[in-house]
Amino acid sequence: MRLVVVGGDAAGMSAATSVRATLPDADIVVVERGSHTSYSACGIPYYIGGQLDRAADLVVKQPEAFRRMGIDVRTGAEAVAIDAAAKTVSVRDVGSGEQRDERYDRLLWAAGAHPQVPSLPGIEEYGHFVQTLDEGEHLRAHLESLPEVRHVVVVGAGYIGMEIAESLVRHGVAATLIDRNEQVMKTLDADMACHVQAALEGFGVKVALGESLLAVHGDHGGCREVVTDAATHSAQALIWAMGSKPNVELPRAAGCALGATGALVVDEGMRTTVGGIWAAGDCVETTHLVSGARVNVQLGTHANKQGKVAGLTLCDLPAAFPGVVGTAATKVCEWEIARTGLSEREAAALGLDYQVASFSGSARAGYMPDPGKVFVKMLAEAGSGRLLGAQLVGTGNVAKRIDVAATWCQLGVAVQDAQLFDLSYAPPFGGVWDLLQVGARKLTKSLGLSPSL
């Protein structure tokens, strides 16, 4: 069996490693456009801001280590065409420009996503991207090359944008975070996102919401100012941290179907609609288990799992990626932020009948020193009581607590049952009623379900 993998990060390398272990005789080629394999893209903001010293720390496994395992990793190599009938991929060497066809029995497309950049004056010239580790290294080198960096504008107030802005402020750079939306983190509801915004502002990040980028001005090769429809921000660098678009052009041209999200349609085994072509990671659609909708969620955790699943099905072993429930977490200053399931905005858009519980509590027992503050928002479906989603924003160790709600969402657990689950309790970790169970109780009550404790 000859497997060609396009994309050498989480999904691609998880699959290649898995196939290597299952089929010792398989011929495995990985084609990666950049120079790194298998790195933590989520760590890039910490590297840019200098919390992490070396880009190499983010690399889980170097190309050479994969080669020693018998995986033919080719960096600086870009796939430029797929011929699904002939079962070949055309690969161009980024350095030399040379091109050759690679024959495959099975192809795994794991080429991720790329920043969606509008064509505005100056953005090509002055904008920096943080999608890949190569880009992260380039940006950090640029920041360090400036005699003195005073102002940086970050466009996009999502996870990555917020993390970078915080990281910059932590290192003495004035960061302005711009977003065209009226709130940060649009994966949260506005009434939860406001706490995150307050944390960012309290830390010294300038947050400019409802502003759309118009142009970037500079001179002598350096950025000078960023112009939006509302203001002009002086800036020695512009970092683009907006959402990314799945890389699907080649498989689409080869006949692979795309879903409504613009990502590749795959079955539970990560097979596209074209025989012999698999896909995994940021470029595919998957099922949202709460809404039932097909979604494109670009997160390393899914890419790793989907890569493992593809690694098995590529070897004709049974495996199925069940879907996602929209779990995500991040940390901004001392605040931990996590969400799972549907936000209220999403539930409303779907026309679901639900109730909301929104309250605050403490991360530890209220009488303990430094009890911490946690804002909680949860929603459950009328009739069934099924938990639809949860959002947590707080100090103290609250983010990983979302995993309990994620498990409830994954399994369709109803709040009236969840309130009596045997969750842990000790004063350093919370009150005698777990916060998620306080929410479950409130929802059970407001939905008129039994037992209403």
Instruction: Scan residues 373-412 and list those touching a second copy (CB under 8 A).
Output: 397, 399-404, 406-408, 410-411
Task: Please tell me the distance from the alpha carbon of residue 416 to that of residue 173, in angstroms, as a whole number.
Answer: 49
Q: Beta strands of 229-319 (E only): which ranges?
A: 232-234, 237-240, 244-246, 277-279, 286-287, 294-295
Shortest Cβ 301–a second copy spacing (Å): 4
Q: Tokens representing 445?
A: 């009550």
Q: Tokens representing 172?
A: 């003495």
Cβ nearer to a second copy, comparing 134 with 403 = 403
**Which span sits near a second copy by CB under 8 A: 180-188, 203-211, 216-224, 299-307?**
299-307
Contact between 448 and a second copy (CB under 8 A)?
A: no
Shortest Cβ 367–a second copy spacing (Å): 4
Cβ nearer to a second copy, comparing 132 with 410 = 410
- Side-chain-side CA neighbours of residue 443 (13 Å): 34
User: Which residue of 109, 129, 321, 375 would you call a contact of a second copy, by CB under 8 A?
Assistant: 321
Shortest Cβ 400–a second copy spacing (Å): 5
Q: Tokens representing 10?
A: 């989480």
The SS3 assignment for 431 reads: coil
Q: In angstroms, how far is CA 207 from the centroid of its own chain?
A: 21
Residues 232-291 that bind a second copy (CB under 8 A): 289
Shortest Cβ 151–a second copy spacing (Å): 26
User: Which residue of 11, 258, 325, 352 would you call a contact of a second copy, by CB under 8 A?
Assistant: 325
Residues 185-214 that bind a second copy (CB under 8 A): none
Residues 31-60 that bind a second copy (CB under 8 A): 40, 42-43, 46, 51-52, 57-58
Please give the DSSP secondary-structure letter assigned to residue 42.
Answer: G
Q: Tokens representing 430?
A: 């919370």
Phi and psi for 138 in degrees, rounded to 5? -60, -45
The SS3 assignment for 306 reads: helix
The size of the interface with a second copy (CB under 8 A), counted in residues, is: 76
Please give the DSSP secondary-structure letter assigned to residue 85.
Answer: T
Contacts of 244 (CB under 8 A, 6+ apart): 112, 113, 114, 115, 116, 131, 282, 298
Contact between 329 and a second copy (CB under 8 A)?
A: yes
**Which span sits near a second copy by CB under 8 A: 72-80, 97-105, 335-343, 379-387?**
335-343
Residues 416-445 that bind a second copy (CB under 8 A): 417, 420-430, 432-434
283 carries an active-site annotation: no
Residues 357-376 that bind a second copy (CB under 8 A): 365, 367-369
Cβ nearer to a second copy, comparing 84 with 333 = 333
Task: Please tell me the distance from the alpha carbon of residue 429 to that of residue 425, in angstroms, as a whole number.
Answer: 7
Contact between 328 and a second copy (CB under 8 A)?
A: yes
Residues 118-137 that bind a second copy (CB under 8 A): none
Residues 150-169 that bind a second copy (CB under 8 A): 159
Give the DSSP H/E element, type plus range, for residue 214.
strand 213-219
Task: Please tell me the distance from the alpha carbon of residue 238 to that of residue 234, in angstroms, as a whole number.
Answer: 10
Shortest Cβ 100–a second copy spacing (Å): 33
Active site residues: 42
